[in-house]
Amino acid sequence: MQEIIIGILNQFGYIGIFLLITIENVFPPIPSEVILTFGGFMTTYAKMKVWGVILAATAGSVMGAIILYVIGRVFHTERLERLFDSKLGKLLQLKKEDVERAEKWFLKRGNKAIFFCRFIPIVRSLISIPAGVARIKFSSFLTLTIIGTFIWNAVLVFLGRIAGNAWETIVHYVDIYAMIAAAFFALVAILIVAIFVKKRFLKRDKL
């Protein structure tokens, strides 16, 4: 994967960065840290400029985020409520009120989540979907996405340029950060599921 990414960047430059980052936002497993840090390194020997790399990456990030936001708008809360109210939803002990509570929470704290999640690998992409589902105002979503992704991209591109030939060292540390973040969110997810099962299933069995 890394060799393919480097080959595309060497051949297509800014356009390659834009396309790869757009794809990375829709398919998070593609490592953005490789694209950004190597892009920064490229500015030390190619004609590419640091700010050009940052702007191309930010444009790609925003494009990918908009795609996921639109997907979220398609799967709006009314559809989720119908799903939760179906036979499958009742079997899983899901309630329409769960959707309403989640929507209210996101409308209240969604702006902060959209901004700060841009600095967390994988989540930085996926946060666009619930933003669309909750119908967060598009102008707010776009502004926060541009600012957050610009900062994230700028940091990694500058680190890649500073590191030079040792740019892979930056990738290594970002990978560690990503694994820690993934482990944290996995634990949170397990905790949420455990609480849900206890409240909806185990409590019912005791009655």
> Over the stretch 88-138, which tens digit does the pLDDT of each residue have?
555 555 555 555 666 676 777 788 888 988 888 778 888 888 888 888 889
Could you give the CA distance from residue 3 to residue 84 in angstroms, rounded to a whole number? 44
User: Which is nearest to 24 in space by CA: 15, 35, 13?
Assistant: 35
Q: How confident is the model at residue 21 (pLDDT cuts 50, 70, 90)?
A: very high
The per-residue pLDDT of the chain, averaged, comes to: 82
Q: How far apart are CA 159 and CA 80, in angstroms?
A: 42
Q: What pLDDT score does 158 carry? A: 95
Q: Which pLDDT belongs to residue 98?
A: 53
Residues 163-179, mean pLDDT to the nearest whole number: 89
Give CA–CA dist 79/92, Å, rounded: 17
Q: Domain residues of the chain, as ranges? A: 2-206
Residue 203 binned pLDDT confidence (cut-offs 50, 70, 90):
low
pLDDT tens digit sequence for 183-202 = 887 898 788 777 766 666 66
pTM of the model: 0.80
Predicted local confidence at residue 72, as pLDDT: 85
